[in-house]
Amino acid sequence: MTRKLIFFDIDGTLVDHEKKIPPSTQQAIEQLKAAGHELVIATGRGPFMLKPISEQLNIESYVSFNGSYVVYNGEVVYSHSINPDRLAELTQITLNNNHPLVYMTPEGMRCSTHETAYLEDAHEPLKKKLPPMEPDYYVGKDIYQCLLYCKQEDEGCYKENFSELGFIRWHLFGSDILPPGGSKAKGIHALVERSGFDRENIYAFGDGLNDLEMMQYVYHSVAMGNAPDEVKQAARYVTKDVTEDGIMYGLRMLGLLKE
């Protein structure tokens, strides 16, 4: 079989709703690697957050921060950060509105404030402790993604005043903020150009709204059974739920693994 380049989202794709890798997924990844295919993680998480999963699966290449920071075989091949002046403006408005803003670098993340009633509720799905509070963390650093904690109806003012930035809502009280033009598709394109794979040999699995551009860019795109309808409609194929061995089922469906 011709060698393939396969991208996998993490949450709801490689890991289940309890943030555990299903045994069938672990087995599928090992079989793909044994067959000589090249595997890449494509996630909204930062490098510091995906390390345990990448080590467990022995995957060294990743498209992180929803495409803003890309590493191929240990080498940074693409990076795109948020304009620091605009980030300073955004910070001031969020503080005035009492909306926490989390700044994310490849090494870690810090929060502008903890003063809100729903920060812990929104952060809980990440299965991580709240980041330390450090209001000036962004100063002098490249920030590749932010997390904004506010109600959806309060997000409009940010979208209006910072229309060049990307906003992807992933929780009732939480959204990702991306640099201009940021998307997993952008990061995947940079990695594909470096890797030299032909488009017909590229596959991708995902389940979230931040996977929409990836589903549209990758010809052999697969939406998980637990994905919302919008993502399923954007994908070429749909597999089973992550809790129903969706990765293994999808790979067999595509003929990348045998029964």
Q: How far is CA 257 from CA 1, 125, 247, 250, in A?
A: 10, 31, 10, 9
DSSP string, 76-129: EEEE-PPPHHHHHHHHHHHHHTT--EEEE-SS-EEES----SSHHHHHGGGTSP
Query: Which of these is catalytic: 9, 16, 176, 211?
Result: 9
Q: State phi, psi for 203 to the nearest 5 degrees.
A: -130, 155
Q: What is the distance between the alpha carbons of residues 116 and 148, in angstroms, rounded to a whole number?
A: 12
Q: What is the distance between the alpha carbons of residues 201 and 203, in angstroms, rounded to a whole number?
A: 7
Angle value at C-alpha 102, between 100 and 105, nearest 5 degrees: 170
The per-type count for the chain, helices as H runs and strands as E runs, is 9, 13
Structure tokens at 146: 């932010």
Nearest to 38 by CA among 181, 146, 189, 196: 196
211 tagged catalytic: no
Angle between helices 23-34 and 47-57 (to 10 degrees): 70
Residue type, 50: L
Question: Are 11 and 224 in contact, with CB atoms under 8 Å apart?
Answer: no
Which sequence positions are flagged as catalytic?
A: 9
